[in-house]
Amino acid sequence: MPENTPPPACETEAKGGFWQRLLRPPKCSMLTMIAIGVVGGIAIWGGLNMGMEYTNRSEFCTSCHEMTIPFEELKKTVHYKNRSGTSVQCADCHVASSKTPTDYMFKSFQKLMAARDVIGHIKATVDTPEKFEAHRLTMAQRVWERMKDRDSKECRNCHDFKTMDPAKQKDRSVVKHEGAQEDGKTCIDCHKGIAHKPVHQEQAAAAAKEG
């Protein structure tokens, strides 16, 4: 190579095996390495986010046919169809975060935990209405516990004590909400069964028998 010829933008060592080449990384300019890093980062982040949003669709959730059971229940509630036209989908309650960067990790963790449902589908644990009903309370309790640990953040994405207008609520609701704030309760403490079959009544009945 003539002395005046500039070196290539990214020069690699052709000799040696994989480990030798790994220990002798390409000799790239800093600008080239930054550009590659930025493009690669955008591609990876975009792919992950696209995958996240795709799997958040209710159509994806109900592709496991047993999930159509709770989805049909949701469609009969005010959370799905109401006078304001606001509609809640599966992911809004089961995967939702507060849209903060730190909660993205929680959302990713919830996706990982959703693999349990996939395994249940493959093993045919809840593949019939009868089997689903047999496991319903256990599955519901798992969701209630998670929401309680998170201070019902999924609910608070739309509902918050701070933005409630008592003047537009029924007297009973005002009393209940004020009491909940004083007692440090969270939404799911009182609003189990708001979107699905109220199996918490079975839990309460069982607790009463034990007592």
Whether 187 has a pLDDT exceeding 90, the answer reads: yes
Closest among 166, 167, 192 to 177, alpha carbons compared? 166
Please write down the long-range contacts of 54-62, taking CB distance under 8 Å and 24 or more positions apart: 55/111, 56/89, 56/90, 56/91, 56/95, 57/89, 57/91, 58/89, 58/90, 58/91, 61/90, 61/91, 62/90
pLDDT of residue 186: 94
pLDDT at position 211? 63
pLDDT at residue 119 in the model = 85
Q: Is the pLDDT of residue 6 over 80?
A: no
pLDDT in tens, 127-143: 899 999 999 999 999 99
Is residue 24 predicted with pLDDT exceeding 90?
Answer: no
- Give the dihedral sign, CA 134/93/72/111: negative
Q: 23: Cβ–Cβ under 8 A, 6 or more apart, which residues?
A: none
Whether residue 19 has pLDDT greater than 80: no
**75: pLDDT confidence band, cut at 50, 70 and 90?**
very high
Taking 70 as the threshold, does the pLDDT of residue 166 lie above it? yes
Residue 196 has pLDDT above 60, yes or no: yes
* Chain mean pLDDT for the chain: 84
Determine the pLDDT at residue 16.
57
Q: Output the pTM of the full model.
A: 0.74
